Amino acid sequence: MSQLFTPFSLGPLTLPNRIVIAPMCQYSAVDGIASDWHLMHLGNLAMSGAGLLIIEATAVEPRGRISPADLGLWSDAGAAALGKILDAIRRYSPMPIALQLAHAGRKASTAAPWDGGQLLDSTGGGWPTVAPSPLPFMPDDPPPLELSPADMAHIERCFVSAAQRAQQIGVDAIEIHAAHGYLLHQFLSPLANVGNDEFGGSLENRMRFPLAVFAAMRAAVSERIPIGVRISATDWVAGGWDVEQSIVFANELKARGCAYIHVSSGGLSPQQKIPLGPNYQVPLAAAIRAGCGLATVAVGLITEAEAAEAIVAEGRADLVAIARGILYDPRWPWHAAAKLGARVEAPRQYWRCQPRELKELFGDIRFRQR
C-alpha cells in the first residue's frame, strides 16, 4: 500500500492523503480582496485530489502585504469575497482547505515579480515598511521603521482578527507564515533582529513575539481548527537562524498547541547560499521532525511521486507539499496515484477520463456509459 495515499490527522482534521498543495502567492487581489482569478486558480487545484490545499500568504493588515496585489483578510469585505470563493469550491470538492496568514515586515511594499519585484516608494504605490530592527533587506533599501511594543501589540491583534475571520468563512486549518524572511522570521533571526530588549538578543527573546502571536491566535479560534506554522529552518547564512534553533522553536510551539511544522528555508538575506537540488529541504524537515515530534511537512523541489512516497514511507516527513510542480501539472496527485497503485478523489464530472488500464484510479465508480 502506498504510504503517500494513507490518511493523516492534524488534530481533529483528517486528511485523505499526505499530499499538500503549498501556499503560492498569486499577486492578483485588489485592495486585499480576492478576484475571479482566485476562484479559477483555487477551484482548479481543489480538483487535484491532494489531501490539503493551503491558500496563499494572506496579509493581516495592509502594510503587511508583500505587494499591493496581495490577498488580505483585514476587512469584512476581504472575508466576504474569499468566503464566497470557498463556498463555490466546496459545492464540488471535499478537499480540506487551509489559509496562510502573514505579515511581510521589511519585505513588504514591493512590485509583483513580473513587474520587477523592486521596493516601491510612495509614488509607485508603496508604503513604509516595519521590522524588529531598522535593518533593510537589501543594502540600498531605506531602513524599515523599528516596531515599538505598541506596534507589536497592534500586529498581534491583526493576526488574531484575521484568524477569527478565517474561522468565520469556514477554513479547515490555519497556517502562520514565519518563513522566507517575512516579519515573524525577522524576529527569529539574529541577522534581522539585533535589538537588546525583551524581544531581541537571546534565542528566548527572539522567539517571544512569534510565540505570542501563535498563542493569541490559538486562544482566539476553535480547537477544531488546527494551527500550524511555516518556518525557514535555516537562513543559509553563517551566524543566522539554523536547524538547532528551529528545533527549539518547534518544541515551544508544540507546547502551545501547534498542529504541524511546515519546513522551508531561506528568504531572509540576499547573502544566502542555497544548495538547490531535488528534495534539498527534506533533511531539514527530517531533523525537525526527529527533534520535536510534531507532524512535519516537507517542501522544496519534490517533483516525483516515487520521491514523495519514499519521504513519507521512510519517516522523514509526515506530509509532502507540492508548489510550482502542481501549477505545471494540476493533476499531480492523480498521476502520483497512478504510478503508486493508489486511489484518489476526483470530481464525478471527470470520472470518464479514467484510462482503461487505470480503472481503479478513482475508486469504486458506477455509472452508465451512453
Enumerate the active-site residues. 182
Distance, in Å, from the CA atom of 104 to the CA atom of 151, rounded to the nearest integer, reads 14
| Angle subtended at Cα 280 by Cα 109 and Cα 278, rounded to the nearest 5 degrees | 105
Amino acid identity, position 299:
V
Q: Find how far residue 112's CA is from the centre of its chain.
A: 19
Q: Retrieve residue 70's grid coordinates.
A: 496581495
CB atoms within 10 A of CB 191: 20
H helix intervals, the chain: 36-45, 76-90, 149-168, 183-188, 203-220, 243-255, 282-292, 305-313, 324-328, 332-340
Q: Which residues contact 122 (CB under 8 A, 6 or more apart)?
A: none
Three-state DSSP class for 187?
helix
CB atoms within 10 A of CB 117: 13
